[in-house]
């Protein structure tokens, strides 16, 4: 079972439909037991970092997600879901994240139009099964005002240029996070979802 974690932040149905289009069923859930039993976990999100962490804590979803990651179950964070994998974020104050990947979530530098909305390229830094069949330089659809800054270079799987070269795909072992929205990124986005479902 693929569990799409519902903590009140994001358009989860579009992610679910993306998996259905590539032949994989996924369940939208906020139930601790379903997250605990899931073979794969997808963690989407749109909104503010601190609010999201508060929602996760209130729903008692933090421990089962971190446990799933520690057990090596495939995990995919999308947009805010990527950012929450990191240690802390600076959106509307300083907030602790899940601290699965060491690093900080930062606002784009002054002078860049924020949020970044639209298509931008990824530049692959490391081979990963998540990107099987996805060419270097491919375009994906982004909507965000903050970016992740990992402590360790090895956690950066792809970079994107928007005023700074920032990490647009992060990962380690079977934990992955993408800053863009694969469910809105046409064929290559669907291919990425398919790759995740078939890890």
User: What residues are annotated to the active site?
Assistant: 79, 181, 183
Which residue's entry shows tokens 């994240």? 97
Closest CA to 155 of 89, 104, 116: 104
Residues 63, 1: Cα–Cα separation, whole Å: 19
Residues 81, 61: Cα–Cα separation, whole Å: 13
> For residue 105, how far is the Cα from the chain centroid?
13
Structural contact between residues 146 and 156, judged by C-beta atoms closer than 8 angstroms: no
Element (H, E) at 150: strand 146-150
Residue 110 burial class via C-beta count within 10 angstroms: exposed 0-12, middle 13-18, buried 19 and up? exposed
């Amino acid at each position: 079972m693929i569990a799409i974690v519902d903590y009140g932040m994001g358009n989860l149905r579009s992610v679910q439909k993306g998996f259905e289009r590539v032949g994989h069923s996924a369940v939208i859930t906020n139930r601790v037991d379903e997250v605990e039993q899931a073979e794969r976990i997808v963690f989407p999100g749109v909104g503010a970092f601190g609010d999201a962490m508060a929602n996760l804590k209130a729903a008692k979803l933090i421990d089962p997600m971190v446990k799933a990651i520690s057990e090596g179950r495939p995990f995919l964070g999308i947009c805010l879901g990527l950012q929450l994998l990191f240690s802390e974020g600076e959106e509307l104050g300083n907030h602790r994240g899940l601290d699965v990947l060491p690093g900080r979530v930062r606002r784009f530098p002054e002078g860049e139009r924020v949020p970044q909305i639209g298509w931008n390229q990824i530049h692959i830094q490391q081979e990963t099964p998540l990107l099987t069949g996805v060419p270097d330089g491919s375009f994906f659809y982004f909507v965000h005002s903050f970016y992740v800054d990992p402590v360790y270079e090895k956690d950066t799987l792809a970079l994107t240029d928007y005023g700074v070269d920032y990490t647009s795909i992060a990962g380690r072992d079977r934990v992955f996070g993408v800053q863009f929205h694969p469910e809105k990124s046409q064929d290559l986005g669907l291919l990425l979802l398919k790759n995740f479902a078939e890890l």
